[in-house]
Every structure is written in structure tokens, then in C-alpha cells.
Amino acid sequence: MQQPTTTTVNAYAKINLGLHILRKREDNYHDIETILHRINIYDSITVERKKSGEIFIHCTDPGIPTDTSNLCYKAAGLFYSTIEHEHELAITIEKNIPVGAGLGGGSSNAATVLRACNMLYGYPLDDSILTNLASRIGSDVPYFLHAGSAYATGRGETLEYFDLELPYWIVLVYPRIHIETKWAYQSYTPNRNMRNHNLKSLVQKNIMKPRSWVNTLRNDFEPIVFRTYPVVMRVKESLMKSGADFALMSGSGSSVFGLYQDETYAKEIAESLPATYDVWITPPFFVPDPIITERKANA
């Protein structure tokens, strides 16, 4: 069968159900603990082989760089250097995931490009090599290579995938504030009085009692982000006052999500928020479209 030369894949965003910063490492990275869970927001990535000798990137968002600083470019470049092949790729990014929102859009895009390249060239790299390449691009990138939710430790690259079916409507609010992850880590000051819980056990144990998460499930970036960008704090307060069972900032911000049990109520809340915010809703038990998997799953 002839090898395909182009593919289009949805690259989904994630939220963090809790994010604990445990310690700063000697390599200046931080050890963290978090749960990564996909939501129904995605970029559409088209990857096409072209006899060009280059890597071309086009993005529908003019604010996204299309040069070598783009994570998709880095992913393609690493792939080609690993298989020792000349560059011959065109990547089109239909951008929907906001940048600097704590949703992992760039990481998801990069992982999607790695998987797409591997498929288009007949699966020359196994999962262990793809994971190694992904970790060289960014701490979040390995997560997006596989489907499902994951308990992440280390820099975020040590992953334990597990089934996490959230029986809630997720209302995600982006107040259109761009926050750099690097700034968030540099600004973070440890709170020695905070007690760390095992996030995976905490979430699984109380999946039907999200209100119990209010006092135990935290994002350690919230205090510094709220001090610097009070509007993000007001978004979280609005969701909680509106009747969310639980609300939390995702990643290093600035997006905030709330969990609701009732569909009508969730949609009413989403519609009542200021027009200056971007809002998305993910239904309960959401499962994204299948990602590109390894050869044996496509045989």
C-alpha cells in the first residue's frame, strides 16, 4: 500500500487538576505533581511531505512565530535529524487554543507533528525514541503523544496514564491575558506550610465529591498570578459564586475552569460571562478523537 504524504490531526488542549511544585532541582527545573486531562478545544494540524529541502510553517494566528522558534518546527527538525533525512515538510496550524493560557497548545502541536511525521515516513521511530525527542522540546510535550489522562511527576515528563472520566460540564474561561510559564516559575516562592496530597489518589477517591477538592486540590501558581493579574482571580471567584462545584486555574495561567453538574446551568454561566473573555464548554466524559498511534494499532 502506498505511503500517505499528508495527514490532518486535532491537537487537543489540557487542563491541570491540581499542580504542586515540590522543589527546585539542581538543573534549575522544578519537580512537580499534577494531573493532565484533555478538554474539547483543539488546533487542527496538517502535515504534508513536500520535496522542498525545507520546513515550512503556516499558522492562522499571525501572532504565532513560524520560524525555528516554533515548537512544531523544532519537532520536525528533531525527527529529521534522528532519521537522517533531508527536510521536506509543510505544516499548517489552524489555531484555536490561546497562547499563554496554561492549556499546553504549543506542546500539543509539537507532539502531534512528531506522531504525524512518524506515520508519514512509515513509523521509523518507536515510542521510546519519540518520547525522548518530545522531552527535548518541552516538559509537557511527552504527555500529548498518547491518549488519556496522566499523573505527571518529575519535570512533568514522568507519566502514569490512567482512566479519568469526569462526570461534569467543564466551563473554561480565558481572560485574554498571556502568561509566560518561565515567568511563573521564576516568580514562584515556596510555601512551606502547604501540605502536599497525592493528587491521583485525591482525585480518584473524591471524583463524585468535587466540592471536597476546594480545600485540598490547589495550583501553586495561583497566588503569584492572582497578585499580578487580579482579573484571573476574579474569574475564579465568578465561577465559584455562580455555583461551580470546583474551580481552578490551569497550568501557569491564565485560563480558569469550573466544574458543573447541570448542562443548562453551565451554558447559562458561560453566556453570562463578559464578552471580553473567551469561553469554551467540554461535556461530561469527553473523549477526544483518536490520536495517531504506533504502527501495530494501524495495521
Active site residues: 14, 140
CB under 8 Å to 260, separation ≥6 — which residues?
168, 169, 170, 171, 243, 244, 245, 266, 269
**Of 173, 170, 274, 188, which Cα lies nearest the Cα of 232?**
173
Q: Which amino acid is at 297?
A: A
Dihedrals phi, psi of 296, to nearest 5 degrees: -60, -25
What burial class does residue 219 get, using C-beta atoms within 10 Å of its C-beta: 0-12 exposed, 13-18 middle, 19+ buried? buried
CB under 8 Å to 195, separation ≥6 — which residues?
none
- Whether 144 contacts 130, CB under 8 Å: no
Dihedrals phi, psi of 10, to nearest 5 degrees: -85, 130
